[in-house]
Amino acid sequence: MKQTSSRAHKRFGIWLVAGACAALSACGAQPPEPIDEPIASVEDVERLEQVVDTSLPLVQQAYSIESEKVCDKQGGKWKKVGRQQAYACVLPANDAGKACSDSSECEVACVTGKNQVEAGQKVSGVCLETTDLFGCRAYVSKGIVEHTLCVD
């Protein structure tokens, strides 16, 4: 009787596993249906890549540009910048060299024109020439020189 019970348990186990496999195989996802039409044309993508949101601050505009072609179109220079020498678009600022006392008065930033100015001193700054923020600069905030900031 023990052998019969053991065989019945084995058969039941086999049927249970087979049933579970069959049930799970019915739950499988169907492959996606192929798309006959392209989502966007090459021309649409190229057109979107050339759009620059001019409502953004100039620095954000520059960093949103991802190709030399678009950079040139915006009047910028496509060049290697920073320690990693990654290509980026550097846009010129219309107010370059203008006297300022705070970055809010400039398209890019207000910096000291003099190299040897201590932080905390009252000074008149100048608006940065381009969107290239790499290098060491002392920024001016509310007419006061901040500590020199170096960006790699």
How many whole angstroms separate alpha carbon 89 and alpha carbon 79?
7
Give pLDDT tens digits for 66-90.
Answer: 999 999 999 999 999 999 999 999 9
How many whole angstroms separate alpha carbon 46 and alpha carbon 48?
5
Residue 13 domain flag: no
**Greater confidence, 38 or 24?**
38
Residue 91 domain flag: yes
| Full-model pTM | 0.67
Give pLDDT tens digits for 50-64.
Answer: 789 999 999 999 999
CB 128 within 8 A of CB 109: yes
Give pLDDT tens digits for 95-144.
Answer: 999 999 999 999 999 999 776 788 999 999 999 999 999 999 999 999 99
Domain extent at residue 66: 42-151
Q: What is the pLDDT of residue 13?
A: 65
> How many domains is the chain partitioned into structurally?
1
